[in-house]
Chain A
Amino acid sequence: MKSLVSRKYETVKAVNGVTFTIERGERVGFLGPNGAGKTTTLKVLSGLLHPTSGEVEVEGKVPFRRQTKFLEAITLVMGQKSQLIWDLPPSETYAMNRAVFDVPHAAFKETLAELTDLLDLGPLLDKPTRQLSLGERMKCELAAALLHRPTTLFLDEPTIGLDVAMQVAIRDFVRSYNQKHDATVLLTSHYMDDVVALCPRIIVIDAGVLIHDGDLRQLIKTMDPDKRVTFTLTAVVADDEITKLGTVLSRDGQRITLKIPEREIATVVGHLLGTLKVADLAIEDPPLEEILRVMFGKSREAREGEAPPTEASDT
């Protein structure tokens, strides 16, 4: 009952006419090509940019006023920027953030212990930041950003430049923080795996315009309902044996990827396993990259179509 009453909504209408509302506790992926306005929107939401028009409300506050209560409720992590003091160990930045955010010592100890455990920071806390690897630094950045227990997280490319294992670690951490503290997460990433693994909902913008807001799986289903079946043959098979099963998307020696409508999956897989002898087989959704490429292509066409005809040439 209480959660129903105190449930907060965050309504956002960014500079480019992008309107969306995110509920407390949601994990939302924010996607778009380079220069689409993702970082700009995150900066507006975290209060670093002053929108020229429109309304923004986060945690019940107007972000750009940067009131203490607002700053205590949010955090912004930018993969490309650091808040750690470069020549001192991360523990010093943590001590500073504790003082600046006025976190009581006991609560600070508890949070730091939790973050140290989840992110495996133990050996990193007292090393000068400049000696940390990119991945280690990113983990320390996340901890610095979360010591004041914000309930809204803006994560701008938190996994940029990290290896796969580190990406998975960061992803798992963000999910567990979200679940443990009922925190709202808005994330941008160039790695679609991050988004697929973390965000049930995605918001897609292109050239500052919202082109999709909704369930990720639903989007994939609408855009491209066909599955991808990838397998490795154990023996040489005639080409037409393969092509009659479905569209061949790629063929690398004995390893083949087919595009198969969902309702034919059972038949095709049965045939592959029974007749053709395969070493392995995987059924997957079409990759998000592909879907987005199609979406951005369509949105560009739409933009160009709408543009009023002019006499001016392209040159």
Chain B
Amino acid sequence: MSSVARTLRALPTLLRIGVAETVAYRAEFLVWILTTTLPLVMLGLWTQVAAEQPFEGYTAAGFTAYYLANLIVRNLTGSWVAWQVSEEIRLGSMSMRLLRPLHPMVAFASSHLAAVPFRTVVALPIAVILLVSSGASALTTESLQLALLIPSLVLAWMITFTFMFMLGCFAFFMTKAMSLLNLYFLAFSLFSGYLLPIPLLPSGIREAAEVLPFRFMLSAPIELMTRSLSGTQLAELLFGQLAWAVAMLAMALIVFRRGIRRFEAVGG
């Protein structure tokens, strides 16, 4: 009986309990989602800039589509697992998880996956607004790009989750690990396309953004929705996501493992 088969058998129950948890925390959850308003602020700003004539190739409708898509992707893929992990390490409840024959990352991942239906419900009205707004004209109609949207969102979710999980695991090594999150968010805002579409970034930053993981956490699905991409560009985008998903998963597992070893040495 392998541990994978065992985990798969446990998954339906874990997901069901995850949904129950999401329902129990619905108020906090909604507040968390509603505070993601930065894309709306940027939307207001840039549609003004591009009202008269396109700015660097972006029309007002283009900006509307970009930032609404941005909000949708952020709602579906954003993660708060870093706070949970670091709190559990700090307060010692991580010990309790270690005594269960289930990798804590799987436990956290299933409870976060369970929140996806709820997040979809929040993202749907935004999608409707996008479709009826002027932004609809700037959306792609390429069926291949639209078909790749789902795998792209899944990969974006994975990179974000594993990245955040890894950041949470830094609490094994430092007491104020969450100060790292400020740094993370700074880098994310700049390099992911959260504040500005990547083509609008100053050169230097733009080149960095193209290889760093942040673009693949947010910009990639937005690009699928709002740009017309060649076959090569599509392949670059999806394989970039896949590569970062694998790399971040490996890094998160390594940091977790190292952290656990430290935890075992000093106690928690």
Contacts and interface: CB of A to CB of B under 8 A. Distances in A.
Contacts of B12: 99
B261 A50 contact: yes
A71 B99 CA distance: 6
Interface size of A as a range:
20 to 34
Nearest to B265: A50
A125 interface: no
Contacts of B3: 68
Interface in B1-42: 1, 3, 6, 9-10, 12-14, 16-17, 20-21, 24-25
A29 interface: no
B100 A71 contact: yes
Interface in B86-100: 92-93, 95-96, 98-100
- The binding surface of chain A is classed by DSSP as mixed
Interface of chain B, main secondary structure: helix
Given A50-B261, A87-B24, A102-B6, A71 B101 contact: yes
A198 B268 CA distance: 28
Interface string A88-120: 100010011111111000000000000000000
B154 to A, nearest CB: 24
Interface residues of B, number: 30
A88 B18 CA distance: 10
Interface string B226-264: 000000000000000000000000000000000001011
B7 to A, nearest CB: 9
A251 interface: no
Given A49-B265, A64-B264, A83 B17 contact: no
Contacts of B14: 96, 99-100
B267 interface: yes
A85 B21 contact: yes
**Which 5 A-B pairs have CB atoms at the shortest separation, nearest pair first?**
A99-B13, A50-B264, A99-B10, A83-B96, A87-B24
Interface of B: 1, 3, 6, 9-10, 12-14, 16-17, 20-21, 24-25, 92-93, 95-96, 98-102, 107, 261, 263-265, 267-268
